[in-house]
């Protein structure tokens, strides 16, 4: 793995914790030592010896050219190159690295506890390679293959989604404070409510819309609140605008990386 910060580290911890990878089977190339799971080797340069089974690019997108200049020759012929670099398309990777297959992956931070989302895209990977990459990603959470044209939208919804939900939790707590709850208690209540509701929705055999209706009896207080969120599609409109703005920015960054 080249670069191993917040996201690379989260993936690595879950891979090793779930047993899908042995710590001593992983080499990290980082600029400085970081706290990593015991047994993982970390160096400043590619280790000597045969090519690894797979290379994962997990540094910042702006480091792509520097990393390609340093390592592309030595990595030529590697079976699979997986990149989590936001906004960097498969073609941009294939132009810089000669790999049997290039797979673009978009994880989100809950991969660190096995409850994340990993979107995948590859036009170059054979079915057997796609299956192997999907199996590698499976312990991280939900794995979905997406069309390249939808990657910017998936990045907005799932990649940035945790940040949007953190805002929602804060807003829920602030709304409770506005009704007189102490701030720390409102924060705890909001967080536990979102956690429990998410787990319940994930386990339910009906969709979230039906679940909301089950909680809201006619004329009751939940219905009154839902009426506010639903009035003229207020919440849907707000989130549509949020995801659209984020998707547009992803597209702009992808265009800039294309050159
Ligand atoms: N964070 C997210 O939610 C998220 C979601 C999806 C995708 N991503 C993608 O994940 C990638 C990493 O993001 P991050 O949030 O994990 O960033 P980060 O915490 O800053 O980590 C970047 C890592 O790359 C290393 N690095 C930078 N330049 C390097 C170089 N020249 N040689 C070797 N290692 C180098 C850094 O080392 P130093 O610490 O020594 O600088 C650090 O370990 C990005 O491409 C981002 O687009 C992130």
Helix (H, G, I), strand (E, B) or coil at 43: strand
pLDDT tens per residue, range 59-94: 999 999 999 999 999 999 999 999 999 889 999 999
The 10 Å Cβ neighbour count of residue 184 is: 10
> What are the CB-based long-range contacts (under 8 Å, 24+) for 72-80?
72/96, 72/97, 72/98, 74/46, 75/46, 75/51, 75/99, 77/51, 78/51, 78/52, 78/54, 79/51, 79/53, 79/54, 79/129, 80/53, 80/54, 80/55, 80/125, 80/129, 80/132, 80/133
How far apart, in whole angstroms, are the C-alpha atoms of residue 94 and residue 240?
33
Residue of the CA atom closest to atom 25 of ligand 1: 3
Q: Over range 208-224, report the average pLDDT.
A: 94
Ligand 1 atom closest to 87 (CA): 47
Examine the pLDDT at 234 and tell me if it is beyond 80: yes
Q: Ligand 1 mean position to 30 CA, how many Å? A: 9
Mutational test site, ligand 1, from 1, 4, 7, max ligand atoms within 8 Å of CB = 7
CATH 3.40.50.12160 for domain 6-151: no
Q: Over range 216-224, report the average pLDDT.
A: 94
Q: Which region among 125-139, 199-213, 244-258 has the lowest average model confidence (pLDDT)? A: 244-258
Q: Which region among 59-73, 198-212, 245-259 has the lowest average model confidence (pLDDT)? A: 245-259
The residue extents of the domains of the chain are 6-151, 161-253
Handedness of CA 16, 200, 154, 225 (dihedral sign): negative
Residues with a CB atom less than 6 Å from ligand 1: 2-8, 29-32, 58-61, 63, 66-67, 84-86, 106-109, 159
Predicted local distance difference test score (pLDDT) of residue 241: 98
Whole-number average pLDDT of the chain: 95
Predicted local distance difference test score (pLDDT) of residue 245: 98
The 10 Å Cβ neighbour count of residue 98 is: 14
CATH (one of 3.30.420.280, 1.10.3730.10, 2.40.10.120, 3.30.1330.60) for 161-253: 1.10.3730.10
Q: Ligand 1 mean position to 137 CA, how many Å? A: 18
Ligand 1 atom closest to 61 (CA): 45
Predicted local distance difference test score (pLDDT) of residue 259: 66
CA distances from 191 to 80, 169, 194, 223 (A): 39, 6, 5, 21
How far apart, in whole angstroms, are the C-alpha atoms of residue 118 and residue 24?
24
DSSP classification of residue 2 = B
pLDDT tens per residue, range 173-183: 999 999 999 99
Q: Are 23 and 39 in contact (CB under 8 A)?
A: yes
Q: Ligand 1 mean position to 12 CA, how many Å? A: 13
Examine the pLDDT at 257 and tell me if it is beyond 80: no
> Can you name the residues that pair with 102 across neighbouring β-strands?
81
Mutational test site, ligand 1, from 31, 106, 111, 115, max ligand atoms within 8 Å of CB = 31
23's CB contacts (< 8 A; 6+ apart) are 16, 37, 38, 39, 40
- Residue holding tokens 């799932």? 158
């Amino acid at each position: 793995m080249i670069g191993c910060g917040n996201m690379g580290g989260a993936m690595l911890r879950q891979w090793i914790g779930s047993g899908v990878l042995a710590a001593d089977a992983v080499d990290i190339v980082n600029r400085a030592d970081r706290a990593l799971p015991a047994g993982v080797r970390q160096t400043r340069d590619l280790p000597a010896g045969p090519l690894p089974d797979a290379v994962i690019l997990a540094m910042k997108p702006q480091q792509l050219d520097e990393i390609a200049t340093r390592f592309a020759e030595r990595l030529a012929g590697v079976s699979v190159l997986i990149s989590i670099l936001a906004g960097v398309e498969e073609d941009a990777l294939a132009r810089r690295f000669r790999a049997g297959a290039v797979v673009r992956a978009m994880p989100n931070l809950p991969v660190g506890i096995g409850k994340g989302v990993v979107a995948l895209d590859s036009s170059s990977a054979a079915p057997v390679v796609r299956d192997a990459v999907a199996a590698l990603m499976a312990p991280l959470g939900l794995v979905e293959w997406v069309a390249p044209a939808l990657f910017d939208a998936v990045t907005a919804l799932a990649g940035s989604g945790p940040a949007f939900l953190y805002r929602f939790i804060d807003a829920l707590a602030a709304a409770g404070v506005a009704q007189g709850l102490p701030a720390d208690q409102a924060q705890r209540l909001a967080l536990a409510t979102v956690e429990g509701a998410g787990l319940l929705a994930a386990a339910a055999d009906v969709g979230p819309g039906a679940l909301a209706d089950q909680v809201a009896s006619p004329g009751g207080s939940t219905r009154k609140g839902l009426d506010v969120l639903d009035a003229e599609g207020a919440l849907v409109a707000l989130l549509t605008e949020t995801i659209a703005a984020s998707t547009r920015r992803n597209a702009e960054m992808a265009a800039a990386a294309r050159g």
